[in-house]
Every structure is written in structure tokens, then in C-alpha cells.
């Protein structure tokens, strides 16, 4: 190793050590959680052997499966609505210039920066005092308050992703389509939307992940007969951490990581297409 390379390495290893330490601090507890979900003992502090019994029990837990079904239904509905609203909002902010544009753009960032506890309390007051939700509605209409609250929280994330993609769009392409006889909606669907496809996929995956994992807002907007997966896990943890809770958490963790990795991969592919 030459002297310049040795000097460069001596400068980099402290930074690498710090990064490795931070990564170990963040992810070691998650690895322990996953490992203890295979523990053949109800005591999470004592390892007695490897078993898959806790995962088998999850399949027979009807309450947990119902909570998972609620979470998946809420995440699917919230993703569709957030994708529609977020895309339309991003296109409007990108295409039109009007007084107060900067203020409106900043307002879209409020759900992202405001603590979830504040938004959860606000949604609780909104549905309790201003817009009471009718009781006794069939599933999935009974999930309406949670879906609305999730959409209000999630669609700004979609708008940010889609708007960032629009910055690379060549407006002359859409103008050329209009010159060739395409109407405004036809040009939008045939020219703009195909360009937005990677950001739409990434935004949908991110929205689904955020909705599936959300606990705070759901806790404040869920009714007594509506239990989601994170809320159910929280209720299980209140009575003690067991390998069954670890198994449930591992399933949720794997699902979240898979969706997030897929979203990052889609964004990376979009970046490669934009590269010269």
C-alpha cells in the first residue's frame, strides 16, 4: 500500500468505525428480537433451543389474523387514495403558478414534520366532535376513520416523491402531444403518467408501508371493535414480552423491510434511467 493510500485509509477508518457502531446500536436489538422468536421457552431471557412453534401458533390466532386483515385492508385503501390525491396535488403544484404557492407547498410538509401524536389527537377530535362516524357499518366501511386519517398523513409523502420526479420531465414532450391533437387529459395519461410510473410505484410502496406500520394515529382513531395489527401487538406486549410477541414483531418487520427495499429499488432504477 502506497503512502497516499495509507494516509487515506487512516483518515477513513474512524468514520467507518463510527458508522459500524451506530449500525450495531440500531439493528442489534432487532436481530435479538428475531433470534428470540425461535426460542423454545416462554422466557425471553433464557435460550433453551430452536423451535417454530410460536410461528405455528400465529396461524391459529384468529384475533391476530383479523387484526392483520384490518391492517391490510386499511393500507390498501389508504394507498389507493393517497396515490390519487398525492399525484394530483404534485401535478397541480408543478404545473400551475398562483399566489401563495410557497405557502401551499409548505402546508403539504406539515403532516410529515408534525408529531404523529398531535395528528392523532386532532383526528380524534375531528371524528368525535365535528364529523361523527356512523356506527354499525359493514366491513370495510367501519374502517373509514382510520383510512381517512392515514390518507391525511400519507398522501404528502406521495406528493413529494411524484413532484421530485416531475422536475425531470420535459414539458416540450407534452406540448408536442398537444400540437399533434391530444387533449389535456390524453396528453396527461399518455405522456406525463408514463414518466411518473417509477415514482408512482415507489410512492405506493412507501404509502402502504407507512399505513401498515402506523400505531399512534390508528390508536386514536380506531373504534372499540376495530383492532389493527400494530395495536394488537401493543396489547400483547402490555401483558409481557413472549416469544409469540417476538414472532409477530418479526413478521411485521420482515414485511416492512421487504416493502421498503422494493421501494428503494424502484427509485434506484428510476435514477439509472435518468442518468445520461
Domain span holding position 87: 53-274
pLDDT digits (tens, 9 = 90+) for 78-120: 999 999 999 888 888 887 777 777 777 777 777 778 888 888 8
2 within some domain: no
Q: What is the pLDDT of residue 267?
A: 65
| For residues 131-156, average pLDDT | 78
- Once rounded to an integer, what is the mean pLDDT over residues 109-136? 80
Closest to 248 (Cα-Cα) out of 71, 74, 65, 76: 65
Q: Is residue 145 part of a domain?
A: yes
Cα 270 from Cα 258, distance rounded (Å): 19
Q: What is the mean pLDDT of residues 151-176?
A: 82
pLDDT value of residue 54: 82
Q: Does residue 149 lie in a domain region?
A: yes
- State yes or no: pLDDT of 223 exceeds 70: yes
pLDDT band of 141, cuts 50, 70, 90: low
Examine residue 186 and state whether it is found in any structural domain, yes or no. Answer: yes
Distance CA 39, CA 119 (A): 38
Task: For the beta carbon of residue 35, count every other beta carbon within 10 angstroms.
Answer: 13
Which is nearest to 71 in space by CA: 184, 227, 199, 187? 227
Domain for residue 14, yes or no? no
pLDDT digits (tens, 9 = 90+) for 26-64: 888 888 888 888 888 777 677 788 888 888 887 777 887
* Whole-number Cα distances in Å, 244 to 61, 176, 253: 11, 59, 14
The predicted model scores a pTM of: 0.76
Cell of 197: 410510473
The per-residue pLDDT for 83 is 92
Q: Confirm whether 5 is domain-assigned.
A: no
CA distance 133 to 86: 24
Query: Is there a domain that residue 243 lies in?
Result: yes
Domain count, the chain: 1
Name residue, grid cell 409548505.
Answer: 106
> Is residue 12 in some structural domain?
no
The better pLDDT of the pair 105, 139 is held by 105
Q: Look up cell 432504477; give the residue.
A: 269
The Cα 20–Cα 77 span in angstroms is 39
Q: Say which CATH number the domain at 171 has.
A: 1.10.3720.10
Neighbours of 222 (CB within 10 A): 20
Task: Report the range out of 9-18, 83-92, 141-150 with the highest average pLDDT.
Answer: 83-92
> Is the pLDDT score of 276 beyond 60?
no
Q: State CA 63 to chain mean position distance.
A: 24
Distance between CA atoms of residues 238 and 202, nearest Å: 35
Amino acid at each position: 500500500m502506497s503512502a497516499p493510500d495509507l494516509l487515506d485509509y487512516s483518515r477513513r477508518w474512524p468514520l467507518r468505525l463510527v458508522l459500524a457502531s451506530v449500525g450495531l446500536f440500531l439493528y442489534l436489538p432487532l436481530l435479538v428480537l428475531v433470534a428470540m422468536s425461535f426460542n423454545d421457552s416462554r422466557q425471553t431471557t433464557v435460550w433453551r433451543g430452536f423451535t417454530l412453534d410460536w410461528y405455528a401458533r400465529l396461524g391459529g390466532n384468529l384475533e391476530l389474523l383479523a387484526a392483520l386483515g384490518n391492517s391490510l385492508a386499511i393500507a390498501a385503501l389508504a394507498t389507493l387514495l393517497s396515490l390519487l390525491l398525492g399525484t394530483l396535488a404534485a401535478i397541480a403544484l408543478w404545473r400551475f403558478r398562483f399566489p401563495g404557492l410557497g405557502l401551499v407547498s409548505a402546508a403539504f410538509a406539515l403532516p410529515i414534520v408534525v408529531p404523529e401524536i398531535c395528528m392523532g389527537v386532532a383526528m380524534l377530535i375531528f371524528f368525535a366532535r365535528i364529523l361523527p362516524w356512523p356506527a354499525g357499518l359493514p366491513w370495510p366501511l367501519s374502517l373509514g376513520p382510520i383510512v381517512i386519517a392515514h390518507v391525511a398523513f400519507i398522501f404528502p409523502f406521495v406528493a413529494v416523491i411524484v413532484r421530485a420526479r416531475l422536475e425531470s420531465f420535459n414539458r416540450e414532450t407534452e406540448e408536442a402531444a398537444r400540437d399533434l391533437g391530444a387533449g389535456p387529459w390524453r396528453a396527461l395519461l399518455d405522456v406525463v403518467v408514463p414518466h411518473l410510473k417509477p415514482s408512482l410505484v415507489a410512492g405506493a410502496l412507501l404509502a402502504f408501508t407507512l399505513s401498515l406500520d402506523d400505531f399512534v394515529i390508528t390508536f386514536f382513531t380506531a373504534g372499540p371493535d376495530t383492532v389493527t395489527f400494530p395495536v394488537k401487538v401493543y396489547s400483547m406486549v402490555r401483558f409481557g414480552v413472549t416469544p409469540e410477541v417476538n414472532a409477530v414483531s418479526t413478521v411485521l418487520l420482515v414485511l416492512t423491510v421487504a416493502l421498503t427495499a422494493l421501494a428503494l429499488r424502484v427509485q434506484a432504477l428510476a435514477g439509472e434511467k435518468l442518468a445520461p
